[in-house]
Amino acid sequence: MNKYLVYMPGESVRVERSFPNTKFRISEDLWAIGTDLPTPGAVCEKLGIHENINMVVIAITTYYGRYDMNLWQTLEAWDKT
């Protein structure tokens, strides 16, 4: 499964609706997303992004840090699918 960081100020409902079972909220506007979609552009399309919404999608190829253990467990589970 591919992993992405999605930053969408004020658009959390859009993320929750588009990825109901494969999302992890890192902060109010920052999400980790697991999906079979191949590119950040494809993630934008699924989110229904248009030119009036500010957002960034970044592919996660590797990760490291200190944070809530649930994030690391979620990312590891996505690595296995």
8-42 pLDDT tens trace = 998 889 999 999 999 999 999 999 999 999 999 99
Q: What is the pLDDT of residue 54?
A: 87
Q: How far apart are CA 62 and CA 57, in angstroms?
A: 15
What CATH number is attached to the domain comprising 61? 3.30.70
Domain count, the chain: 1
Q: How far apart are CA 50 and CA 1, in angstroms?
A: 25
Task: Give residue 13's domain range.
Answer: 2-79
**pTM for this prediction:** 0.91
Q: What is the pLDDT of residue 49?
A: 79
Residue 5 pLDDT > 90: yes
CB-based contacts of 71, cutoff 8 Å, min separation 6? 24, 26, 32
